[in-house]
């Protein structure tokens, strides 16, 4: 007889091979067909569920998605799916940042020569089309990753209503007094021809020419320091931006630092005492170690404060006239005092160019100095600069300037230095500071800065260093320059009187404009006349009736930073503050900060309760991915090769607190892990195919010991998994579930169960006991994994018998809740002991196999010498020991210490269960079977 047919071998359609790249799109279709996410939201709504709002930081609508997008959106999706399973109404509205320079840039590049002929309205229309195109593309790519969102109703910063809300928020800020206009040095990109925000600057190394320059003190310097010395003296300055020298207006010293007047090499000059030798080495062109006391003579020692007011001759002849004509109380071209001067670098005498430096600008203002800013938007010197420079690009002017200094005997030394320098984040060109008229948000008005810092303390930061990072940035940030000299964006709703230049910044007019924009979008600003836009009719200053519209647009960080206002506050389905903002760590500088500033400035509250930041995806060596290096890994390729669930596993299993490495090797490891987890599920499915809960379920008290153990372990898994999901520790969850599947299930529980599952009578109590628990494990495990393996979990779910599940999709299910009654700590301890002995025994058996004494472990007879403490426990399990150790027989003996002996067993092999037993041959009806199998056969026939 063919006894094999009498075994309960596993049956399932859930294949070993995943085939995710082909199968996943089918699931997407099924979800779409049944409108799954919307239906769930609808049901939550019906049940009056609370909302959970993860507010999407809008990615820029430019290009296909890259690994950074995939990482970010998958993390968000895990949160959304988890919260949904918890029963909350987690409505996730995706956003896109649509305005701004990069898109305008792309459009302009495509236009080439035609760009000169295009009106702002035509350019804007092309930009809108461009952005919309990428919104559509990225939507499809995000969907393919299994991400749930209200894809049909995203928020776009170029939506008319969104644009109107940006204007309204701007109006609120005007009303509260935060908005102002002024001349200030702002970061400027000559390539992009626009001001840049702090957030748009990246630092990179740059080689600059550094020069030591001699400025000749004007007559009267000696009296200033109470000295009767006669003859000349000079101030020596040091700068790494020689191109700013035409803007020099003063020399700053620190009031409390010690300075000396020194004579060396025929030169008499002032220098900070601590930098004396260094500067002498410059003057004498000598190595610092070779300088002896005879090389120089200190003539006088003074405090910096005593130098104040010493005048000097301008470097350029063009300015001499100005100096001579200026009244005696002007401080131009004189020594001023500033606290930011240090004795760490240079000479202690600092070149001040108010038009090109933040600190320079402020100190110059306090002294009432002039502002000589002769650089235009393209980075070229304008009229007013020395003649030989007019029309030249500043970064190409160091050479002629140095030549000029040399000819006129101002130059002491020049050298090249490599240092960290600001670059434009878009075009990567070197940027510079340029004083221009701009619109600002005053971050100190109404104590905004302090209040932001205070309210930030009331937010949960994951990881915690996010707080320190952002608060340091807020503490040190300058006022926010919000104007940009471009076309593609939201206009700054301000008017200027044509006759008297009066600036009209009026809240009610701004709100009128917002209404117009709500209907027709920001294009109305360009298409409509002032009269059509609002009720402004007469200038309150001069009574004239003609106005110009502001041509600057708002910084895009204002656009996206307004999302809490435009979206969260306006939607009844969403919470404000949101529960969670979740973005890459670059957003401390960007969106987290702009959102926080605008939210506190506009309505005195935080925009989010919790913020999570993640690192970046880097290559296998930890290098930044870049097209030019050729180390880019794209999510599209990964999906094609492995499937979206593997991309999701990659994301979930990585510790996002740091940068995350990706390579073929790393993906192969993930595939391996995935297979193990998949096979665990497959085993559960295969061995429960004939289990019908209504008829077959075994009550808890009647479960066998090992099944109760597994059920207890499952509760611990639920508890830990919930904790990990709740705290966004997905990589810990992954480790937990991987350990559970491989160590606790596959190589222990299942191993022990196999004999029982395959060879027992199908409806025997032992088999049903195991199936009762296996079903529970499978249902629970699938739900725990569902937020990560969004497709695989559906596949498992579909392959479960229908009678098991009330819902057709796993994502409709609720989150597992642990049952404390199933937790049995003492039972777990018992099995821990057994597990320990088993591990040792398996090694001994393995050795026997390696030595070819036995073939399979079932050919072994195990004798366990057990100390008292183990003996009682093992006696209790004596009936099951052979099954536990996967041998044919286990004998136990009391001994002083643990000793395990394995030998080859005598007896014959049962052809049905393969166990060696002396009983084989005893039953004449089943001569080839052991007594156990004979009994089973008796029951079956
Ligand atoms: Zn640029
Ligand atoms: Zn006027
Ligand atoms: Zn048998």
Question: How far does residue 547's CA lie from ligand 2's centre (Å)?
Answer: 8
Q: Give 110-126 pLDDT, tens digit per residue.
A: 988 887 788 989 999 99
Question: Quick one: CA dihedral 542, 546, 552, 558, positive or negative?
Answer: positive
Q: Which residues contact 544 (CB under 8 A, 6 or more apart)?
A: 497, 498, 499, 500, 538
Q: How confident is the model at residue 854 (pLDDT cuts 50, 70, 90)?
A: very high
- Can you give the pLDDT at residue 326? 65
* CA 484 to ligand 1 centroid distance, Å: 12
CA of 515 to the centre of ligand 2 (A): 25
- Answer whether CATH 3.50.50.60 is correct for domain 835-940: no
Q: Show the beta-strand stretches assigned E in 344-487.
A: 350-352, 411-424, 432-441, 460-462, 480-481, 483-484
Q: What confidence score (pLDDT) does residue 253 get?
A: 96
C-alpha–C-alpha distance, residues 179 and 504, integer Å: 12
**Which ligand is the nearest neighbour of the Cα of 202?**
1
Q: Compute and round to an integer the Cα radius of gyration of the chain.
A: 38
From CA 70, how far away is CA 829, in angstroms rounded?
43
Helix (H) or strand (E) holding 345: none
Distance from Cα 550 to the centre of ligand 2, integer Å: 15
CB-CB neighbours of 388 under 10 Å = 14
Ligand 1: centre distance to CA 249 (Å): 28
Give the residue from 680, 763, 709, 743 showing the smallest Cα distance to 880: 709
**Ligand showing the shortest atom-to-Cα distance for residue 919:** 3
What distance in Å separates the CA atoms of residue 671 and residue 677, rounded to the nearest whole number?
A: 10
799, 791 contact by CB (below 8 A): no
Ligand 3 centroid to residue 686 C-alpha, Å: 22
Q: Residue 95: beta bridge partners?
A: 155
Q: Report the distance separating Cα 478 and Cα 438, nearest Å.
A: 13
Report how far ligand 1's centroid is from the alpha carbon of 635 (Å).
28
Per the CB < 8 A criterion, the answer to whether 178 and 442 are in contact is yes
Cis peptide before 463 (omega within 30 of 0): yes
Q: Which ligand is nearest to the CA of 502?
A: 2
Ligand nearest to the CA of 909: 3
> Per-residue DSSP letters for 168-212?
HHHHHHHHTT-EEEEEEEEEEETTTTEEE-GGGEEEEEEEEEEEE
**CA 688 to ligand 3 center in whole angstroms:** 22
Mean pLDDT value across residues 526-549: 95
> Ligand 1 centre from 192 Cα, in Å?
4
Of 635, 645, 617, 640, which Cα lies nearest the Cα of 788? 645
CA of 463 to the centre of ligand 2 (A): 53
Strand 432-441 to 480-481 pairing? antiparallel
Which one has a higher pLDDT value, 760 or 803? Answer: 760
Q: Collect all residues with Cβ–Cβ distance below 8 Å to 638 and sequence separation of at least 6.
A: 646, 647, 650, 667
Asked if 300 contacts 313 with a C-beta cutoff of 8 angstroms, the reply is: no
State in Å, rounded, how far the first CA of the chain is from the last one. 12
Distance CA 539, CA 200 (A): 37
Ligand 1: centre distance to CA 268 (Å): 44
**CA nearest 160: which of 135, 128, 186, 136?**
128
Per-residue pLDDT at 345: 86
Does CATH number 1.10.730.20 belong to domain 3-14+659-823? yes
Closest ligand to 503 CA? 2
**Could you tell me which residues come within 8 angstroms of residue 498 by beta carbon, excluding any fewer than 6 positions away?**
544, 546, 547, 548
User: CA 717 to CA 745: how far, in whole Å?
Assistant: 12
- Give distance in angstroms: CA of 778 to centre of ligand 3: 29
Cβ contacts of residue 369 below 8 Å, gap of 6+?
A: 249, 250, 330, 331, 332, 336, 352, 354
Q: How are strands ordered across the β-sheet holding 250-253?
A: 334-337, 250-253, 350-352
Average pLDDT of the segment spanning 683-689: 97
What is the pLDDT, as a whole number, of residue 577?
Answer: 97
The tokens for 97 are 């940042």
pLDDT digits (tens, 9 = 90+) for 767-781: 999 999 999 999 999
Average pLDDT, the chain: 94
CA 466 to the chain's CA centroid: 11
Ordered DSSP codes for 503-553: EE--HHHHHHHHHHHHHH-THHHHHS-HHHHS---S-TTT----EEE---E
Ligand nearest to the CA of 192: 1
257 in Cβ contact with 272 (< 8 Å): yes
Query: Using CA atoms, how far apart are residues 676 and 735, in angstroms rounded to an integer?
Result: 13
Say how many Å lie between the CA of residue 616 and the centre of ligand 2.
52
Average pLDDT score over residue span 814-841: 96
Sorted by sequence, the CB contacts under 8 Å of residue 395 that are 6+ apart come out as 190, 243, 379, 430, 432
Residues carrying CATH 1.10.730.20, the chain: 3-14+659-823, 835-940
193 CA distance to ligand 2 middle (Å): 30
Ligand nearest to the CA of 379: 1
For 461, phi then psi, to 5°, come to -110, 125
Question: DSSP character for 418?
Answer: E
What is the number of other CB atoms lying within 10 angstroms of the CB of residue 549?
17
Buried (b) or exposed (e) across 189-225, using 16+ Cβ within 10 A? bbebebbbbbbbbeeeeeebbbbbbbbbbeeebbebb
pLDDT level of residue 327 (50, 70, 90 thresholds): low
Question: What is the mean pLDDT of the segment spanning 475-504?
Answer: 92
Tokens of 936: 């089973």
Backbone angles phi, psi at 452, to 5 degrees: -60, -45
DSSP letter, residue 363: H
% of the chain at pLDDT higher than 90:
85
Q: Which two tokens stand for residue 155?
A: 């928020």
Output helix, strand, coil percentages for the chain, rounded to the nearest 5: 50, 20, 35
The per-residue pLDDT for 197 is 79
pLDDT of 698-723, one tens digit each? 999 999 999 999 999 999 999 999 99
**Interval between CA 923 and ligand 3 midpoint (Å):** 12
Distance 758 CA to ligand 3 centre (A): 11
Q: Residue 323: what pLDDT? A: 66
The CA 108 to ligand 1 mean position distance, Å, reads 14
What separation in Å is there between the alpha carbon of 479 and the centre of ligand 2?
Answer: 28
| pLDDT tens-place string over residues 187-212 | 999 998 888 877 788 889 999 999 99
Q: Are 417 and 240 in contact (CB under 8 A)?
A: yes
Q: Is the pLDDT of residue 359 over 90?
A: no
Q: What is the mean pLDDT of residues 888-917?
A: 94
Average pLDDT over residues 738-763: 96
| Number of Cβ within a 10 Å radius of residue 345 | 12
What does the pLDDT look like over 628-665, one tens digit per residue?
889 999 999 999 999 999 999 999 999 999 999 999 99
HSE, side-chain direction, 13 A CA sphere, residue 619? 11
Question: Is CATH 3.90.740.10 what the domain over 202-431 is classified as, yes or no?
Answer: yes
Tokens describing residue 931: 């007594």
From the CA of 189, which ligand is nearest? 1
Q: How confident is the model at residue 941 (pLDDT cuts 50, 70, 90)?
A: confident
Please tell me the distance between residue 762's alpha carbon and the centre of ligand 3 in angstroms. Answer: 15
3-state secondary structure of 792: helix
Q: What's the pLDDT tens digit per position in 444-478?
A: 999 999 999 999 999 999 999 999 999 999 998 88
Distance 540 CA to ligand 2 centre (A): 7
Percent of the chain exceeding pLDDT 70 equals 99
3-class state of residue 625 by DSSP: coil
Distance of CA 154 from the midpoint of ligand 1 (Å): 29
Compute the distance between CA of residue 270 and CA of residue 304 in angstroms, rounded to an integer.
10
Whether 230 shows a pLDDT value over 90: the answer reads: no
CA 500 to ligand 2 center in whole angstroms: 4
Where, residue-wise, is CATH 3.90.740.10 in the chain? 202-431
- How remote is the CA of residue 159 from the centroid of ligand 1, in Å? 26
Of 67, 63, 50, 72, which Cα lies nearest the Cα of 149? 72
Shortest-distance ligand to the CA of residue 548: 2
Ligand at shortest distance from the CA of 501? 2
Cα(509) to ligand 2 centroid in Å equals: 16
Pair type for strands 334-337 and 250-253: parallel
State the greatest distance between any 2 C-alpha atoms of the chain, in Å, as a whole number: 132
Q: Say what the pLDDT of residue 149 is.
A: 98
């Amino acid at each position: 007889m063919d006894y094999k047919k009498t075994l309960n071998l596993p049956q399932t359609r859930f294949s070993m091979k995943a085939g995710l790249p082909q199968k996943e799109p089918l699931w997407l279709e099924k979800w779409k067909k049944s409108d799954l996410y919307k239906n769930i939201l609808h049901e939550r709504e019906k049940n009056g569920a609370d909302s959970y709002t993860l507010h999407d930081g809008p990615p820029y609508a430019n290009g296909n998605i890259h690994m950074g997008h995939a990482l970010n959106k998958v993390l968000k999706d895990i949160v959304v799916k988890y919260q949904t399973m918890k029963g909350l109404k987690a409505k996730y509205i995706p956003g896109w940042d649509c305005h701004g320079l990069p898109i305008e840039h792309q459009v302009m590049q495509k236009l080439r020569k035609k760009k000169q002929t295009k009106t702002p309205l035509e350019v804007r229309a092309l930009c809108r089309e461009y952005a919309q195109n990428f919104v559509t593309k990225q939507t499809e790519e995000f969907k393919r990753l299994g991400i749930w969102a209200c894809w049909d109703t995203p928020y776009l910063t170029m939506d008319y209503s969104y644009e109107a809300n940006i204007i309204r928020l701007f109006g609120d800020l005007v009303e509260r007094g935060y908005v102002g206009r002024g001349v200030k040095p702002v970061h400027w990109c000559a390539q992009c021809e626009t001001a840049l925000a702090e957030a748009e600057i990246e630092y990179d190394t740059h080689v600059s020419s550094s020069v030591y320059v001699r400025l000749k003190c004007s007559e009267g310097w000696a009296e200033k320091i109470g000295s009767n010395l006669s003859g000349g003296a000079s101030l020596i300055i040091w700068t790494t931006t020689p191109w700013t020298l035409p803007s020099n207006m003063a020399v700053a010293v620190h009031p409390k630092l010690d300075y000396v007047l020194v004579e060396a090499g025929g030169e008499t000059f002032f220098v900070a005492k601590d930098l004396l030798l260094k500067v002498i080495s410059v003057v004498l062109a000598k190595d610092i170690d070779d300088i002896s006391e005879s090389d120089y003579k200190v003539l006088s020692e003074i405090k910096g404060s005593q130098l104040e007011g010493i005048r000097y001759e301008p470097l350029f002849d063009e300015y001499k006239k100005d100096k001579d004509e200026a009244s005696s109380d002007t401080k131009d071209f004189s020594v001023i005092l500033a606290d930011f001067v240090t004795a760490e670098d240079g000479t202690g005498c600092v070149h001040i160019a108010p038009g090109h430096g933040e600190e320079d600008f402020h100190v110059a203002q306090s002294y009432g100095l002039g502002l000589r800013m002769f650089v235009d938007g393209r980075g070229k010197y304008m009229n007013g600069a020395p003649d030989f420079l007019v029309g030249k690009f500043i970064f190409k002017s160091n050479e002629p300037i140095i030549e000029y200094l040399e000819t006129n005997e101002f130059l002491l030394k020049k050298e090249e230095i490599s240092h960290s320098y600001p670059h434009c984040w878009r075009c990567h060109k070197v940027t510079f500071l340029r004083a221009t008229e701009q619109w600002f948000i005053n971050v100190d008005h109404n104590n905004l800065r302090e209040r932001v810092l205070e309210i930030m303390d009331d937010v949960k930061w994951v990881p915690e260093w996010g707080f320190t990072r952002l608060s340091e940035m807020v503490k040190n940030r300058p006022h926010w320059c919000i104007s940009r000299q471009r076309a593609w964006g939201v206009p700054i709703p301000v008017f200027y009187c044509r006759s008297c230049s009066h600036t009209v910044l009026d809240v009610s007019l701004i709100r009128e404009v917002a209404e117009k924009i709500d209907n027709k979008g920001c294009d109305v600003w360009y298409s409509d006349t002032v009269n059509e836009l609002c009720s402004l009719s007469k200038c309150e200053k001069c009574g004239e009736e003609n106005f110009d519209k502001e041509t600057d647009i708002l910084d895009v960080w204002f656009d996206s930073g307004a999302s809490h206002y435009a979206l969260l506050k306006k939607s009844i389905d969403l919470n404000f503050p949101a529960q969670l903002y979740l973005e890459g760590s670059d957003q401390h500088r960007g969106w987290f900060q702009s959102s926080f500033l605008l939210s506190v400035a506009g309505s005195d509250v935080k925009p989010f309760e919790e913020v999570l930041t993640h690192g970046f995806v880097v290559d296998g060596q930890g290098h930044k991915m870049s097209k030019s290096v050729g180390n880019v890994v794209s999510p599209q390729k990964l999906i094609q090769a492995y499937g979206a669930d593997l991309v999701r596993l990659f994301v979930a299993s990585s510790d996002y607190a740091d940068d995350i490495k990706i390579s073929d090797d790393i993906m192969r490891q993930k595939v391996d892990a995935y297979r193990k987890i998949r096979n665990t599920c497959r085993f559960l499915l295969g061995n429960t195919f004939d289990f019908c809960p209504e008829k077959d379920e075994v009550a808890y008290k009647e479960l066998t010991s090992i099944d109760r153990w597994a059920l207890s372990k499952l509760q611990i898994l639920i508890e830990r998994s919930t904790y990990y999901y709740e705290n966004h520790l997905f990589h810990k969850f992954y480790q937990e579930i991987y350990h559970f599947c491989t160590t606790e299930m596959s190589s222990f529980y299942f191993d022990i169960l196999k004999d029982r599952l395959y060879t027992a009578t199908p409806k025997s109590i032992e088999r049903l006991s195991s199936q009762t628990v296996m079903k529970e494990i499978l249902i629970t495990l699938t739900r725990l994994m569902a937020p990560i393996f969004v497709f695989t979990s559906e596949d498992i779910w579909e392959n479960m018998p229908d009678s098991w599940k009330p819902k057709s999709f796993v994502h409709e299910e609720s989150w597992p809740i642990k049952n404390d009654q199933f937790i049995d700590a003492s039972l777990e301890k018992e099995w821990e002991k057994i597990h320990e002995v088993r591990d040792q025994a398996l090694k001994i058996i393995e050795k026997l196999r390696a030595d070819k004494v036995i073939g399979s472990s079932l050919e072994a007879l195990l004798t366990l010498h057990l100390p008292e403490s183990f003996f009682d426990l093992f006696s209790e399990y004596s009936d099951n020991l052979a099954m536990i150790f996967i041998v044919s027989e286990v004998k136990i003996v009391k001994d002083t210490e643990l000793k395990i002996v394995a030998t080859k067993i005598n007896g014959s092999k049962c052809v049905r269960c393969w166990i060696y037993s002396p009983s084989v041959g005893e039953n004449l009806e089943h001569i080839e079977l052991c007594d156990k199998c004979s009994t089973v056969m008796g029951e079956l026939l």
